[in-house]
């Protein structure tokens, strides 16, 4: 069954937001247009408690976008973003949400970051998304949302590992950094995922 996964289409990742992805809002008309073509539409939501360990402000002398070691893992220190129950964590007002059947929240553990919609960055805890999708009979997953080089990329990697057929719809995503996105795409293709433009969708 064909399923659309909308990753983190939240205010803080849009222009003007705390961790803005350039042109992030430009994906919204396409994301809305695509939804009715899918039998199942799911969204993820980055949902951090205040003082989350991924925020530069949670570390003494922490600088935004610097990479540190956090419990043995590389961690980019981000601006404070997607804090639970703030406007920045809300879906963008232009995102059509009436067809979204379920929302999976991630990044809720204060001590560990979670880019993927499936697992935290240390793969300690699952969000339950794999089980949900399997129980629903979802086999082909199509990905849109933000950011292409972080949460979209990490979600696709986990989904491929979980045995799903995965396709990234390129014009339905934007990256924080173009060069990281180019590397991510190469890795997705190498692992057996597909990268297409929406005009090449055959349904
Ligand atoms: C994201 C960095 C930190 C994302 C979330 O949604 O791509 N990036 N938290
Ligand atoms: Zn985050």
E strand or H helix that includes residue 40 = strand 40-46
**Distance in angstroms (rounded) separating the CA atoms of residues 130 and 17:** 30
Instruction: Indicate whether this model's pTM tops 0.95.
Output: yes
Our answer on whether the CB atom of 184 is closer than 6 Å to any ligand 1 atom is: no
Structural domain includes residue 194: yes
Structural domain includes residue 125: yes
Nearest ligand to the C-alpha of residue 153?
1
Structural domain includes residue 155: yes
CA of 154, closest atom in ligand 1: 7
Residue 151 is a catalytic residue: yes
Domain count, the chain: 1
CA 26, 28, 29, 31 torsion-angle sign: positive
How does residue 146 score in pLDDT terms, banded at 50, 70 and 90? very high
In tens, the pLDDT along 93-127 reads: 999 999 999 999 999 999 999 999 999 999 999 99
Structural domain includes residue 66: no
Q: Which residues pair with 196 in a beta bridge?
A: 169
Q: For residues 7 and 155, is the Cβ–Cβ distance under 8 A?
A: yes
- In Å, the largest CA–CA distance within the chain is 51
Q: Check 25, 46, 120, 151 and give the catalytic one.
A: 151
CA 135, 140, 146, 151 torsion-angle sign: positive
In tens, the pLDDT along 148-157 reads: 999 999 999 9
Domain CATH code at residue 34 = 3.40.50.850
How does residue 77 score in pLDDT terms, banded at 50, 70 and 90? very high
Structural domain includes residue 74: no
Structural domain includes residue 144: yes
Structural domain includes residue 54: no
Our answer on whether the CB atom of 46 is closer than 6 Å to any ligand 1 atom is: yes
Domain span holding position 179: 2-49+86-200
- Averaged pLDDT score across all residues of the chain: 98
Q: For residues 2 and 114, is the Cβ–Cβ distance under 8 A?
A: no
Our answer on whether the CB atom of 149 is closer than 6 Å to any ligand 1 atom is: no
């Amino acid at each position: 069954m064909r399923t659309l996964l909308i990753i983190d289409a939240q205010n803080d990742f849009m222009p003007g937001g705390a961790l803005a992805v350039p042109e992030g809002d430009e994906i919204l008309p396409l994301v809305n247009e695509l939804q009715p073509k899918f039998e199942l539409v799911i969204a993820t939501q980055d949902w951090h408690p205040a003082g989350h360990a991924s925020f530069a402000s949670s570390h003494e002398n922490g600088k935004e976008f610097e990479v540190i070691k956090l419990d043995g893992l590389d961690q980019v220190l981000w601006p404070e973003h997607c804090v639970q129950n703030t406007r920045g964590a809300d879906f963008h007002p232009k995102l059509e949400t009436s067809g979204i059947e379920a929302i999976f929240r991630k990044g809720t553990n204060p001590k560990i970051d979670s880019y993927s919609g499936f697992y935290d960055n240390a793969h300690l805890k699952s969000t339950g998304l794999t089980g949900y999708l399997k129980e629903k009979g979802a086999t082909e997953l199509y990905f849109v949302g933000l950011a292409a080089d972080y949460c979209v990329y990490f979600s696709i990697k986990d989904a491929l590992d979980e045995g799903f057929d995965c396709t990234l719809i390129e014009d339905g995503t934007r990256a924080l950094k173009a060069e990281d996105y180019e590397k991510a795409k190469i890795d997705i293709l190498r692992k057996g995922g597909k990268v297409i433009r929406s005009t090449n969708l055959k349904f």
